[in-house]
A and B are shown apart, each in its own frame.
Chain A
Amino acid sequence: MKPRGYLLVAAAIVMPMSGALANDELLKLEKDPNQWVMPTGNYANERYSELKQITAQNVQNLHPVWSFSTGVLRGHEGAPLVIGDVMYVHTPFPNNVFALDLNNNGRIIWKYEPRQDPSVIPVMCCDTVNRGLAYGDGKIILDQADATVVALDAKTGKEVWKATNGDPKKGETMTSAPMIVKDKVIVGISGGEFGVQGRVTAYELKDGKRAWIAYSVGPDDQILFDSKTTSMGKPVGANSSTSTWQGDQWKIGGGATWGWYSYDPQLNLVYYGSGNPSTWNPVQRPGDNKWSMTIFARSPDTGVAKWVYQMTPHDEWDYDGINEMILADIPVKGKETKALVHFDRNGFGYTLNRETGELLVAEKYDPKVNWATHVDMATGRPEVVKEYSTQAGGEDHNTQQICPAALGTKDQQPAAFSPVTKLFYVPTNHVCMDYEPFKVSYTAGQPYVGATLSMYPPKGDTNLGNFIAWDAGNGKIVWSDPEPFSVWSGALATAGGVVFYGTLEGYLKAVDAQSGKELYRYKTPSGIIGNVMTYEHGGKQYIAVLSGVGGWAGIGMAAGLTKDTDGLGAVGAYKSLANYTQLGGVLTVFALP
């Protein structure tokens, strides 16, 4: 009797949890600093490691110990994973995946090479980048360029299932890294420059069946809003998206979801942002264009939105809201808070209460940001400066000296958070622009942009980037290291008091977490747009990063942003990146002697 009753109880406990096994596994693995189990470091997107063999005192002895050529020339974003004794490395198109044996000098255990129609290449916005893989339940998940989601057996590299997540003929492609939450694979879609209807989709981890799909723009049953969905603390009500678009423009309204995903297991919410409304010509799409440029908090089980916050209503500058949402428990203006911290393309660093969506802090994280004076904390809306409004300027008018440029003060390259220093380490762009909107027509699968851009550093400055430390509780820059080019590499913070990032010339740099002082640099074979990661193997801490210049950073920066004779007093900054680095994907792994 007794044993049977015990067994029944055990079964009752195990049964409802069986679907959540991958989640439990990942919740455990993400706490193991020896591994790097998701591209974002952990569910909170901290990009922080407890490893501390490498310290501010000894990091100057760091040196490369092995490297691996990916054989691909395009821009290499993202970072490899380390699960146990195996490292998983991804590449840009053709999206090859390598499993490397860390016990055997990185010998290739298996290689996966998808067959994709090359016609997808030119419909990818800005180079054929890919931001990484997800691991869960013995599977490696890959988002292919052609919008196919593939699950591979982590041991053999054999396909387990495939799902079609979009149509490249309509400009729908994939560049972002998937995230596994509970028994679901959460994936986004790219194509904001092609007039896609942005969305997030959840697939069952076990068989790739679609569980739910939540659009960024459209009717309530497509965006999965209900009567309880709030914005700025109030229910948004019915038709909150469609009422902010003229006619059917929302059907090609953008709001792509090509950035990073985070997850709070206690609150059971997934966080991410949506991209630009289509087209870039604001005159062609009157209204707030909800919910483009928005932070979403959704249930991973149903996709229903709990809260949303639109940062840039009626975008006029291409300030996509897709950058990472870092979940950190920090004091905000003196009060301990479950915060969500987000460094938006629009140049404001936002701190929100991640449970309620309440806006707590919105401050400029580059003092040169000028398109808005401030964010109204009661309404959440930016106070737009008319001089820099491309809507006010209208079609065929060149609005000049807007800061930041369309690249944003930061693009997708993720920031890091150290729970020790309580600081956020942010790779930034320091670039301004002229922007001239003009009328365009929509053709499926063709660029739907409708604006010209010229980019250059802010007046009086010569640096195109900064690497900064940010106090998100008060919205203040703590220190700022100028960089000659945009910092297009994701940062890594460590318990050793060292913060790492890469530069477009190809340097891996280590700086002091407290002061920002440079402690170490090494020039890798190509410019770095990948994210720095760390792991421990055989009792030794390693630092790894993908180099391989490209992406948005490879556009224009390869040839220099603009002419030397613009008289902006910044001739040095226009020196072409091509003078510093060439193409080619290489993973470089560093350790102490």
Chain B
Amino acid sequence: MRWRLCGAALAGVGLLALAGAAVLAAEENGEKPYTVVDGKVDQHTYNGWRRYTESCLRCHGPDGAGSSYAPDLTESLKHIDEDQFKEVVVNGRVNVNAAADQVMPPFGEVEDVMYYLDDIYAYLKARADGMLDRGRPARIGQQ
């Protein structure tokens, strides 16, 4: 389901805006995309960390902390919203000029990213909000 929604969002900006509006409304109501209790996270946020490690770490560094050639996402997510984040993940971004050769690939057709995009966002947002420390997050209800 979520995969199909993301696929549709890629094709139709309207849908993406719709989905985004729903999330925005949720955030305005004070709802966060993650749950953190005593430093422990819900299963979605935990999975976000795992999927982040799979598909993003090689460039953006452990725990979203950035590398010598890709931005610190715990900083980036203070400045862009969920829609913008997802737009970049789906479509990629190219910044190649005399001073930079940074390329974010489009992940719009990559199952292991698209299926879990909400989870990845939840994890990184928790990091950016300062709600979650570095390292492997502990899960609520598990040791």
Contact = CB atoms under 8 A, between A and B. Distances in A.
A126 interface: yes
B76 interface: no
B53 interface: yes
B68 A555 contact: yes
B32 interface: no
A565 interface: yes
Interface residues of B, number: 36
A268 B46 CA distance: 53
A566 B102 contact: no
B136 A440 contact: no
Nearest to B52: A452
B135 A562 contact: yes
Contacts of B65: 556, 558-560
Interface in B20-60: 49-50, 53-55, 57-59
Nearest to B74: A559
A443 B111 contact: yes
Contacts of A554: 67-69
Given A452-B54, A549-B68, A583-B68, A122 B135 contact: no
Nearest to A400: B136
Contact of B66 (A193, A454, A558): A558
Contact of B109 (A443, A559, A561, A562): A443
Given A128-B101, A438-B50, A193 B58 contact: yes
A380 to B, nearest CB: 32
A29 interface: no
Nearest to A583: B68
Interface residues of A, number: 46
B72 interface: yes
A75 interface: yes
B100 to A, nearest CB: 7
Contacts of B67: 127, 554-556, 558-559
A125 interface: yes
B53 A452 contact: yes
Contacts of A440: 54, 112
A123 B63 CA distance: 20
5 contacts: A74-B68, A74-B69, A118-B101, A550-B69, A555-B57
Interface of A: 72-75, 93-94, 118-119, 121-123, 125-128, 193, 398, 434, 436, 438, 440-441, 443, 446-447, 449-455, 549-550, 554-556, 558-563, 565-566, 583
Given A554-B67, A558-B67, 15 more contacts: A119-B103, A121-B96, A121-B102, A193-B58, A436-B136, A451-B54, A452-B53, A453-B62, A454-B135, A550-B69, A556-B65, A559-B66, A559-B67, A562-B134, A563-B63
